[in-house]
C-alpha cells in the first residue's frame, strides 16, 4: 500500500489553509485566485511554475515563500510576511489516527507500505516513519513529483513490487489517474471511513 501524506494521514489541507489565512489575516479570495492558477498549471499545464519547483526540489522553500507572498495581501491591503510562511500554512495539520492504525495493521499483517508525498518544504513526523513504512519517497528529495510516472515507479521499485501489486491512496484525482495509468489500483481519499472501506473491499484487513 502506497499512500500520500498531507490530506490523507493528516487533517484536510483546506482546513489547515483556512486556519492559516485567518491567523495571518490574508485576503482569502486573492490567495485562492493565485493558488488556483498555480495548481492548475502544475497539474494541467505545460512548463513550470513555483509549485513544480518547490515539489521537485529545484526551488528553495524560502524563494517559494517570497514569490507567493509577493502575490498576496492582508485583508487591510498590507504586505504578507514571507519568512516562515510554509510552516504557518501547515501548522494546523493534525494526524488522522485511523489511517495510522490501518498502516500499522496492514504492515503487521505482511503488507509492504510506502509513503509517496509531494513536499512543500514542510516538516514530516519522521520519527514515526520506521514503524509505518518500508519505503519513503519525498518529492524534493528524489527530484520528481506526482503525477510524473517516474516517481510512482520509484516507489514501487523500492518496495520490490510491480505496479499491479500496489494500491495507491491520494486526495488529488490527478495523482490517482496517473497511478492507475501505471497499473496500480487507486483510492481517491475523501475521508478515513471511506478509504478504510475501500481497502476492506480490496481484501485488505484494516
| CA-angle at 100, arms to 98 and 105, nearest 5° | 90
pLDDT tens track for 21-76:
999 999 999 999 999 888 888 777 666 689 999 999 999 999 999 999 999 999 99
117 in the same domain as 183: yes
Question: What are 156-202's pLDDT values in tens digits?
Answer: 999 999 999 999 999 999 999 999 999 999 999 999 999 999 999 99
- The region of weakest confidence among 32-41, 104-113, 136-145 is 32-41
Per-residue cell: 121: 518544504
Over residues 112-124, the pLDDT tens digits come to 999 999 999 888 9
Q: Is the pLDDT of residue 153 over 80?
A: yes
Average of per-residue pLDDT across 1-30: 96
The number of domains in the chain is: 2
What is the CATH number for 136?
Answer: 3.40.50.1000
pLDDT given at position 41: 80
Whether residue 198 sits in one domain with residue 146:
yes
**What element of type H or E holds 168?**
strand 167-170
Residue 138 β-bridge partners: 117
Q: What is the pLDDT of residue 46?
A: 63
Instruction: Please answer whether residues 163 and 180 qualify as being in contact, where contact means their C-beta atoms are separated by less than 8 angstroms.
Output: no
What range defines the domain where residue 51 resides?
Answer: 13-91
Rounded CA-CA distance 193/138 in Å is 26
Residues 6+ apart with CB under 8 A from 79: 69, 73
Amino acid at each position: 500500500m502506497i499512500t500520500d501524506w498531507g490530506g490523507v494521514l493528516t487533517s484536510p489541507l483546506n482546513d489547515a489553509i483556512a486556519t492559516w489565512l485567518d491567523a495571518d489575516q490574508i485576503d482569502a479570495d486573492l490567495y485562492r485566485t493565485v493558488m488556483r492558477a498555480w495548481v492548475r498549471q502544475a497539474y494541467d499545464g505545460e512548463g513550470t511554475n513555483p509549485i513544480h519547483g518547490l515539489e521537485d526540489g529545484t526551488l528553495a522553500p524560502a524563494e517559494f515563500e517570497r514569490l507567493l507572498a509577493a502575490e498576496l495581501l492582508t485583508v487591510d491591503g498590507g504586505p504578507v510576511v514571507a519568512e516562515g510562511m510554509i510552516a504557518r500554512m501547515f501548522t494546523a495539520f493534525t494526524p488522522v489516527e485511523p489511517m495510522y492504525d490501518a498502516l500499522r495493521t496492514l504492515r503487521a499483517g505482511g503488507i509492504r507500505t510506502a509513503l509517496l508525498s509531494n513536499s512543500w518544504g514542510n516538516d514530516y513526523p519522521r520519527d514515526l516513519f520506521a514503524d509505518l513504512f518500508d519505503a519513503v519517497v519525498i518529492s524534493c528529495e528524489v527530484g520528481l513529483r506526482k503525477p510524473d510516472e517516474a516517481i510512482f515507479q520509484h516507489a514501487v521499485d523500492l518496495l520490490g513490487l510491480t505496479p499491479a501489486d500496489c494500491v495507491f491512496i491520494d486526495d488529488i484525482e490527478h495523482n490517482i489517474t496517473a497511478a492507475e495509468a501505471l497499473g496500480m489500483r487507486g483510492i481517491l481519499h475523501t475521508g478515513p471511513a471511506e478509504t478504510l472501506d475501500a481497502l476492506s473491499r480490496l481484501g485488505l484487513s484494516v
